Amino acid sequence: MVNKSKNRFDKFACACCGFFTISEIHDICDVCYWEEDIYQEEHIFDNGGSNKVCLADAKQNMINFGACEIEFINFVRVPTTDEQVTD
């Protein structure tokens, strides 16, 4: 993962939605269904990785309809309090 720090629950922030749902590389985020992928994280406009869409499009999809891809809308959930970003 690219320069990421863990939260107090030992989780990394998802590259797509930003919630702390990721334990290790290639985990799938329960909040947006993005599969963590180092290559796609470093090349945000390239869809040549674990996910069919590039990270830039996945982030926009998350804003638009709440999942990295429309086909995963039934697999996602709202983030828990522990997964929220806190200052």
pLDDT value of position 87: 55
31: exposed, middle or buried (Cβ count in 10 Å: 0-12, 13-18, 19+): buried
pLDDT value of position 77: 98
pLDDT value of position 6: 78
Domain boundaries, the chain: 12-76
* Ranges of the chain with pLDDT below 70: 1-3, 87
Among all chains, which residue has been given the structure tokens 């470093």?
Answer: 42
pLDDT value of position 80: 95
Q: Global pTM? A: 0.88
pLDDT value of position 5: 80
Beta bridge partners of 28: 35
